[in-house]
Amino acid sequence: MAAIAGSSVGAVTTFATTWLVQSNQLHSQQLGAERAKREMLYTDFIAEAAKRFTDSMSHQSETPEMLVVLAAFIGQMRLFCSPEVVTAAEQVGHAIVDSYIAPNRSLKELRDAFMDNARLDPLGQFAAVCRKDLAST
């Protein structure tokens, strides 16, 4: 009887251990996939925002078509990103719209802006918020 009980306890322990290990592995894989999805979204947003911001420095626009992709990225962020990330993305969008509305810049003005990195890089705060968000996962 003791042998049967010992064998049963061993089987249950083995099953429980295997289940816990697999459950933890699945959870880790899901977290990794979620992180990779957010990293890709952040990277794509930064690339598109950089293109739009660069374009806005030398072009004025009266139509919103060039902002559709950015708006779509921000909409995706609203689905599964923190409110801080969404707010930072919206601030980037506002900076780009403001830049499109502003007069075109000369090459000298662009050089001066390049020397003052804060004016030239509206994505700095967004990147910092994204790093913090990714580090928390």
Render pLDDT for 95-117 as a digit per residue (tens, 0 to 9): 999 888 888 878 787 777 767 66
Best CA proximity match to 57, nearest among 93, 98, 91, 105: 105
**Has residue 7 been placed in a domain?**
no
Low-confidence residues in the chain, pLDDT < 70 = 1-12, 15-16, 19-24, 26-29, 114, 116-120
What pLDDT is recorded for position 110?
A: 74
Give domain status of residue 21, yes or no.
no
Instruction: Write the single-letter amino acid at 94.
Output: H
The pLDDT of residue 56 = 86
The span from the CA of 35 to the CA of 27, in Å, is: 12
Counting the structural domains of the chain, the total is: 1
pTM of the model: 0.74
Instruction: Single out the residue of 98, 108, 23, 106 nearest to residue 61, CA to CA.
Output: 98
Domain range spanning residue 63? 36-135
Residue 69 lies in a domain: yes
* Residue 77, C-beta contacts closer than 8 angstroms, at least 6 positions apart: 41, 45, 85, 86, 89
Tokens of 136: 């928390």
pLDDT of residue 30: 74
Owner of token pair 């977290």: 31
Please calculate the CA angle 101-104-109 and round it to the nearest 5 degrees: 125
